[in-house]
């Protein structure tokens, strides 16, 4: 036994040595079909004269190869097939044909002595799917799976012959280790399996290395002349042997140029002078480089001299803080309802003149301001009367302001009659508030 073990170790070592020869040991899947020539070997409590005979049953399934070394691999299979045997009962003519059908999972080491011949050694697990016993004398059949064990473990070994790359003829012996019958006499599965298999895929075409040509590198840049687009000028592989280009001709090569297609300056890594705020004025000429502005203000926004939130170009009072609704001018402390007139007329009363004096002082302090004087009435009378009356009252207010030194072209007038009330015309107080002259800055 020790000699046999040593011989097996030596054989395995020799078979797993790496060699340049192709032993066909690659990963693959395949299908196979064939026959099981099986018997039930009577092992215990065998009556005198009893013996066993052989049965032939179909088998088929899948197989796969998984290389672990040059000459060594695992072969895994998944099969379905018939087993069993004939039990002869003494000197009588009585015979029972016991057939079983198993799903089998063989796991074997495969040794590759050559491309065409393989040696298989391993184990097998067989799971019983169905069984029946047939009395060959009477022809009676009985399903008897419950009288047999559900699975079997066995040892197996065999050979493969590969007449062509995709085709294989296999033969292996399977020796069951389990007593498969629950009744006497006890028995074990034994089988010779012969199959024809087909593996999927095509044989890889060996790659023949081309002879190494003599390398000529005229400019000594490490790139052979046949692959060098500038063979007489040292360059880099990235540019096929040519020097690093300068696409925009700004004196900064493309590898160091952050804007390789636009001429620029070295201080900006090859890019043009930046325009950080995107206002069309480059940062070197822009006094407000981070805030968008206008060229007439050297890249800064339109100024707001008085800081009232209204820029100078829109501010009618750019040097005096004001409010947006008055276009940058101060809020007018002016009570429109205090500009009073004689009832039904456009004659200013003293109180009304006093209120217009306030407006005159504001206009004198802000000579650039123009205003609109808008006359309004209460709802006493009709529009035919009120509309011209409101216009006349606005004109009366303008005439008074002109008398106070305000240029006439700085004032516009309009009359709205009773159409724009600011209070309820049902009360005397409301009517008073609606009889007014409003001022709006233009």
pLDDT per residue as tens digits for the range 190-233: 999 999 999 999 887 878 887 877 888 888 888 888 888 899 88
- Between 55 and 225, name the one with better pLDDT: 55
Inform me whether the pLDDT recorded for 310 exceeds 50: yes
How big is the chain by its Cα radius of gyration, in Å?
56
Highest mean pLDDT among 24-33, 135-144, 200-209, 229-238: 24-33
Cβ neighbour number for residue 15 with a 10 Å cutoff: 18
- Between 130 and 48, name the one with better pLDDT: 130
Q: Is 191 helix (H, G, I), strand (E, B) or coil?
A: strand
Closest listed residue to residue 309, CA positions, set 294, 322, 296: 322
- Cα 162 to Cα 170: distance, rounded to the nearest angstrom: 9
- Between 214 and 112, name the one with better pLDDT: 112
| Least confident residue range of 101-110, 119-128, 170-179, 232-241 | 232-241
Inform me whether the pLDDT recorded for 252 exceeds 60: yes
pLDDT band with cut points at 50, 70 and 90 for residue 22: low
The pLDDT score that the predictor gives to residue 21 is 42
Q: What percent of the chain has pLDDT over 70?
A: 92
Average pLDDT, the chain: 86
Q: Are 63 and 75 in contact (CB under 8 A)?
A: yes
> Tokens 């009889």 appear where?
435
The pLDDT score that the predictor gives to residue 71 is 93
| Residue ranges of domains in the chain, CATH in brackets | 15-199 (2.40.160.20), 332-441 (3.30.1330.60)
The pLDDT score that the predictor gives to residue 63 is 96
The pLDDT score that the predictor gives to residue 101 is 95
Mean pLDDT on 249-256:
89
The pLDDT score that the predictor gives to residue 297 is 85
Inform me whether the pLDDT recorded for 312 exceeds 80: no
The pLDDT score that the predictor gives to residue 83 is 92
The pLDDT score that the predictor gives to residue 238 is 87
Q: At what angle do helices 350-365 and 383-403 cross, to 10 degrees?
A: 60
- Between 247 and 315, name the one with better pLDDT: 247
The reported pTM is 0.45
Q: Are 392 and 415 in contact (CB under 8 A)?
A: yes
Per-residue pLDDT tens digits for 313-351: 787 788 778 788 777 787 765 666 677 777 677 888 888
User: What is the helix (H) or strand (E) element at residue 141, kind and residue range?
Assistant: strand 141-143
> Tokens 């070997």 appear where?
41
- Between 393 and 81, name the one with better pLDDT: 81
**Phi first, then psi: what are they for 284, rounded to 5°?**
-75, -20
Cβ neighbour number for residue 295 with a 10 Å cutoff: 12
Inform me whether the pLDDT recorded for 20 exceeds 70: no
Inform me whether the pLDDT recorded for 111 exceeds 90: yes
Mean pLDDT on 106-111:
96
- Nearest 5°: the CA angle 190, 8, 73 is 75
Inform me whether the pLDDT recorded for 85 exceeds 60: yes
Burial label for 118, CB within 10 Å (0-12, 13-18, 19+), is: buried
Q: Is 196 helix (H, G, I), strand (E, B) or coil?
A: strand
- Cα 19 to Cα 72: distance, rounded to the nearest angstrom: 12
- Cα 224 to Cα 201: distance, rounded to the nearest angstrom: 40
Dihedral-angle region of residue 6 (phi above 0 means left; psi in -120 to 50 means alpha; beta otherwise): alpha
Q: Are 270 and 257 in contact (CB under 8 A)?
A: yes
Strands of the sheet containing 436-441, edge to edge, are 411-415, 371-376, 436-441
């Amino acid at each position: 036994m020790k000699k046999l073990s040593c011989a097996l170790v030596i054989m395995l070592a020799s078979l797993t040595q790496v060699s340049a020869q192709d032993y066909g040991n690659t990963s693959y899947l395949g299908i196979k079909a064939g026959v099981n020539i099986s018997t039930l070997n009577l092992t215990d409590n065998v009556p005198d004269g009893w013996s066993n005979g052989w049965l032939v049953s179909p088998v088929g399934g899948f197989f796969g190869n998984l290389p672990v070394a040059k000459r060594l691999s695992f072969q895994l299979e998944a099969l379905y097939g018939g087993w069993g045997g004939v039990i002869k009962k003494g000197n009588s003519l009585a015979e029972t044909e016991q057939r079983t059908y198993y799903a089998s999972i063989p796991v074997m080491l495969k040794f590759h002595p050559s491309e065409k011949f393989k040696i298989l050694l391993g184990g097998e697990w067989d799971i019983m799917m169905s069984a029946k016993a047939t009395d060959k004398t009477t022809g009676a059949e009985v399903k008897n799976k419950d009288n047999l064990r559900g699975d079997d473990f066995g040892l197996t070994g065999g050979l493969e012959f590969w007449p062509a790359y995709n085709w294989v003829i296999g033969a292996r012996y399977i020796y069951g280790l389990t007593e498969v019958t629950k009744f006497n006499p006890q028995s074990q599965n034994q089988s010779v399996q012969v199959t024809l298999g087909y593996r999927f895929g095509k044989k890889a075409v060996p790659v023949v290395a081309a002879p190494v040509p003599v390398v000529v590198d005229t400019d000594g840049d490490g790139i052979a002349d046949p692959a060098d687009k500038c063979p007489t000028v040292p360059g880099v592989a990235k540019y096929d042997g040519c020097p690093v280009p300068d696409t925009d001709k700004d004196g900064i090569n493309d590898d160091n140029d952050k804007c390789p297609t636009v001429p620029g300056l070295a201080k900006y890594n090859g890019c043009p002078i930046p325009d950080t705020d995107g206002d069309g004025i480059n940062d070197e000429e822009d006094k407000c480089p981070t805030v968008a502005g206008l060229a007439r203000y050297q890249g800064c926004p339109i100024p707001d001299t008085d800081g009232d939130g209204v820029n100078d170009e829109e501010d009618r009072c750019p040097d005096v803080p004001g409010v947006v609704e008055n276009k940058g001018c101060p809020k007018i402390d002016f009570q429109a309802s205090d500009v009073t007139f004689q009832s039904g007329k456009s004659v200013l009363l003293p109180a009304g003149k006093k209120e217009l004096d306030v407006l005159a002082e504001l206009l004198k302090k802000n000579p650039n301001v123009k205003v609109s004087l808008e006359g309004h009435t209460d709802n006493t009378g009709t529009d035919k009367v009120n509309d011209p009356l409101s216009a006349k009252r606005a004109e009366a207010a303008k005439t008074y302001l002109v008398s106070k030194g305000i240029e006439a072209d700085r004032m516009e007038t309009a009359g709205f009659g009773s159409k724009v009330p600011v209070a309820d015309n049902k009360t005397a107080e409301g009517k008073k508030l609606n009889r007014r002259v409003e001022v709006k800055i233009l």
